[in-house]
Structure 1
């Protein structure tokens, strides 16, 4: 989605479907650490404790995405924006459905206003 064109109703439906199909939110950024995933930056269904838990002291089923896994180097953004990417992913979980709903609400208001204006000029 790099187009500058307005989102179509079909595209809004697709975004809505993607959000509904994803693991329920909210999502949180977590910093985890162990010899297998050194300095793991993850997106999780549970908040970060600040303890940098080591496996098996965290439930792997809570992790929905990772933006940094250093040992071995499985996940690593070239620009080193691991924390920022994780925050974006976690925030998008709640923001995308809200943005879709807001676009639909505003379009509905515009349509109602246009219909009202059309009746007034008839």
Structure 2
């Protein structure tokens, strides 16, 4: 498995995140976060609220991961770039 990320791969990740519905996304699990209804991912907040995402056959852990990825991926891409910039300054 390849471990290093090219700038092209980072750009692809960033593009996929930018193309997704606006965040933040939040995983709502029946019995954990509310009573009654089905599990779903809330997209956006307030005036930026989008349609909920409902999945079939996803585990709670899968749903939590997918919802968190909306926020996590852009932050991780930014952190990789920040760290690379620091490395480039010291070289």
Question: Please, what TM-score do these two structures have when normalized by structure 2?
Answer: 0.77
Provide the C-alpha distance between the structure 2 equivalents of 1:93 and 1:25, rounded to a whole number of angstroms: 6
Deviations 1:62-83 (A, max 9, x none): 21342xxxxxxxx214xxxx11
Provide the C-alpha distance between the structure 1 equivalents of 2:10 and 2:89, rounded to a whole number of angstroms: 19
State whether residues 27 and 42 of structure 2, in contact with CA within 8 Å, keep that contact through their aligned partners in structure 1: yes
Greater share of residues in strand: 1
Provide the C-alpha distance between the structure 1 equivalents of 2:65 and 2:29, rounded to a whole number of angstroms: 15
Mapping of residues 1-122 of structure 1, within 5 Å: 3-31=1-29, 40-45=38-43, 62-66=51-55, 75-77=56-58, 82-114=59-91
Question: Where do 5+ consecutive residues of structure 2 fail to align?
Answer: 31-36
Q: Which of 1 and 2 has higher RCO (CA within 8 Å, sep 6+)?
A: 2
SS in 1 for 2:21: coil
Provide the C-alpha distance between the structure 2 equivalents of 1:45 and 1:62, rounded to a whole number of angstroms: 6
Task: Give the aligned length.
Answer: 82
Question: Please, what TM-score do these two structures have when normalized by structure 1?
Answer: 0.59
